Amino acid sequence: MHFYCVFGNPILHSKSPILHNYVFYKLNINARYCKHLLNSDNNFKNIFLEYGYKGANITLPFKESIINYCDEIHGIANEIGAINTIIKNNNKLIGYNTDASGFYKCIENYDIKNALIIGAGGSAKAIAFILKNKGINTAITNRSISRLEFFKSKDFQCINIFELENIAKEIKFDLIINATSSSLKKELPLKLELLKKLFLNTKVAFDLVYGSCEFLELAKQYKLIAIDGSKMLLYQAIYASSLFLNKPYKTIANTMQEVFDVAFNA
C-alpha cells in the first residue's frame, strides 16, 4: 500500500483526504491519504522518508519553507518560490505548485485581459505568476507596502493603497482577486468606498476563501461574476492527484468532482 498526506498546522479542518481517498477507492488504487500535523519544518525530508510517504501536499504555513527541502523543483514553483505538492522519486523529493494552475482553471473561460491582486502573501505569488505566464497584465496591491518589494523585483506593477484610492475611478480591471485572509475574519480587504469604485469597472471578482463572504456579496451587488475559492481547492487537488498517480487530469477530474460536490454541499 502507498501512503500520501497533507502536511500543515493547523490541519484538522483539511478536506484533502476526502478528495484523494475517494479517487484511490474509485480507481481501485491501494493507497491511503491522511493529515499530518507538522510542528516545524525542521528535518522535513527525514520525516517524509521515515513515514514512507510516496507523495504529499503542503499547506499553511509551510509552502514557502518546505521548498528548501526539495531535491528538484518543477515548473512554475521555481518562479513562485512555494510548493504545495511533493512526489518522492528514487528517494528524491520533487516539488510542484498546483495552486497556480488550480486558480487559473477557475477563470480560464472568462475574457480576462488585466487583473488586480489584493494581497501579497504566498497565494498572491502563485496567482501573479500564472496570470503573467498566461499573458494577463497583473497589478498587485497590499495593506503593508514592504511585502510589495518581492513583486516589484519581479517586474509586476505594484500600486500602494493610497495610489489606488487616487486612480480607482479611472482604472479598469477585468478581474479583481482577494488573495488576503480578510474574509476569514469577516472583513473586506480594502475600504468599502474604494472597492465600490473599483467594482464599477470590473467583470469578475474572486475570493480565495471557501463559500460566501462580504467581498463576493458586494461584487454581486455590482452584478459581477463572483467566484469563491472552493473550486480552486478542487482543481489544485486534481492536478496534485494526477501527479501522485501519473494519470491524466481528465481521469481524476471526473471522479474527484463527484466527491467534491457531496463534501462541499454537506
Q: Give the one residue of 209, 218, 225, 263 binding ligand NDP; rule: CB under 6 A.
A: 209
Question: How many residues are present in the chain?
Answer: 266
In the chain, the DSSP E strands lie at: 2-8, 31-37, 53-58, 72-73, 85-89, 92-96, 114-118, 137-141, 157-158, 175-178, 204-207, 225-227
Judged by CB under 6 A, does residue 66 bind ligand NDP?
Answer: no
Q: Give the one residue of 60, 136, 218, 225 binding ligand NDP; rule: CB under 6 A.
A: 60
- The Cα 51–Cα 3 span in angstroms is 8
Output Rg (C-alpha) for the chain, integer angstroms: 19
Q: How many CB atoms lie within 10 A of CB 143?
A: 14
Task: Pick between residue 143 and residue 196 the one whose CB is nearest to ligand NDP.
Answer: 143
Of the candidates 131, 126, 155, 157, the one whose C-alpha atom is nearest the C-alpha of residue 142 is 157
Q: Is 63 a catalytic residue?
A: yes
Crossing angle of helices 16-26/230-245, nearest 10°?
40
Cell output for 20: 484523494
Instruction: Please report how close the Cβ of residue 66 comes to ligand NDP at its closest, in angstroms.
Output: 13
Q: Give the one residue of 33, 122, 156, 159 binding ligand NDP; rule: CB under 6 A.
A: 122
Instruction: Please report how close the Cβ of residue 111 comes to ligand NDP at its closest, in angstroms.
Output: 23
Task: Pick between residue 208 and residue 256 the one whose CB is nearest to ligand NDP.
Answer: 208
Q: Give the one residue of 55, 119, 141, 205 binding ligand NDP; rule: CB under 6 A.
A: 119
Task: Pick between residue 65 and residue 181 the one whose CB is nearest to ligand NDP.
Answer: 181
The identity of residue 14, as a single letter, is: S
Q: Give the one residue of 97, 138, 180, 242 binding ligand NDP; rule: CB under 6 A.
A: 180
Q: Would you say 36 and 65 are in contact if contact means Cβ atoms under 8 Å apart?
A: no
Judged by CB under 6 A, does residue 144 bind ligand NDP?
Answer: yes
Instruction: Please report how close the Cβ of residue 254 comes to ligand NDP at its closest, in angstroms.
Output: 20
Residues lying near ligand NDP in the complex (CB under 6 A) are found at 60, 99, 119-124, 142-144, 147, 179-182, 184-185, 187, 189, 208-209, 229, 232-233, 236
Residue positions annotated with a catalytic role: 63
